[in-house]
Structure 1
Amino acid sequence: MNAKPSVEGHTGLVKNGEAQEIPPLRNYLCLTMFTCFCPAWPINIVALVFSVMAQRSYDEEDYDGSQRLGRKALHLGVVSFVIGLVIITAYTVVHFTTHVI
């Protein structure tokens, strides 16, 4: 793929004679780093790996792969966050409702 400046000065992809816009990077790195503090360890670490892989694919100009990996990172990050909230809520409820006789 060749990068050529367009009329506006933006560089875009030229594929089959048609200029295409370079999509923005969406690797959700902040979200996946935040979910590493949730108690759903295996899921959030995998989300972080997908986020880093999305960044690497974007740097290698594989924009479709970057978008696909970014979506996986987003989905796993949201799942990790929800599972973490459920675990924290369950622990809090059990801790404060248990009476020691």
Structure 2
Amino acid sequence: MAEVGDNLDRVRIHRALSRPALIFGADRELVLFTGLMAVILVFVVLTPLSAVLGAVFWIVFVGILRMMAKADPLMRHIYVRHIKYRPSYRPTSTPWRKY
């Protein structure tokens, strides 16, 4: 007689498929966006000071983004969902209720 646990199949879930996409330990899209902003700053102004400011800007923001990703790798998605919520909701059962 077979036991209950004998018929269970094991399926491997690869770590790369379940991990969030990070670059330098921070959210991929935000790192690329801040890098783009730094490059735009450097190549639009074209001065040595703008090159230094662009590099400092990118390094500081990647550090902040790394701290954010260390707390929660999906924090950007949670924040975007949070700002879509209204400040208060009426205490009704449905938005289409007649008043």
Tell me whether the two structures share a fold, i.e. TM-score over 0.5.
no
> When the two structures are superposed, what TM-score results if normalisation uses the length of structure 1?
0.38
User: Which of 1 and 2 has greater Rg?
Assistant: 2
